[in-house]
Amino acid sequence: MTLDDALVEALRTDWQSAPITDAERVMIEFVIQLTEDATCITPTHHEQLRAVGFDDRGILQITLIASWFNYINRVADALGVGR
C-alpha cells in the first residue's frame, strides 16, 4: 500500500519503468505469469524470487495472495458484481 499517487500512476501506466525495487519487479513478473498461465511457472521463477530476497514463505505468500485475487475477481465477474 502506498499513498504516493505518482507511484500508483507510474505502476498503472507502465509498471516496467516505474521506480520500484528489483524485488518488486521480479514479484510482479511472477504474479503476471501466475495470472496468465500458472502451468508455465518453473523452478527458474522461484530461483529469480529467491535471488532478490524472497524465501519459501514469501514465495508462498505471493502465490496465495495473487491466486486469491485472481479467484475472487473471477467470482465477482461471473456474478456481475460492480456492473
Query: Tens of pLDDT along 19-69?
Result: 999 999 999 999 999 999 999 999 999 999 999 999 999 999 999 999 999
Residue 1 is predicted with a pLDDT of 64
Count the alpha carbons within 13 Å of 13 in the hemisphere toward its beta carbon.
9
The domain 21-79 having CATH identifier 3.40.50.800: the answer here is no
pTM: 0.86
Tell me the three cell numbers of residue 81.
458484481
- Domain extents in the chain: 21-79
One-letter amino acid for residue 40 of the chain:
C
Count the alpha carbons within 13 Å of 5 in the hemisphere toward its beta carbon.
0
What 3-12 contacts at long range (C-beta under 8 Å, 24+ apart), as own/partner pairs, is: none
- Could you tell me the pLDDT band of residue 2, with boundaries at 50, 70 and 90? low
Neighbours of 24 (CB within 10 A): 14
- Could you tell me the pLDDT band of residue 3, with boundaries at 50, 70 and 90? confident
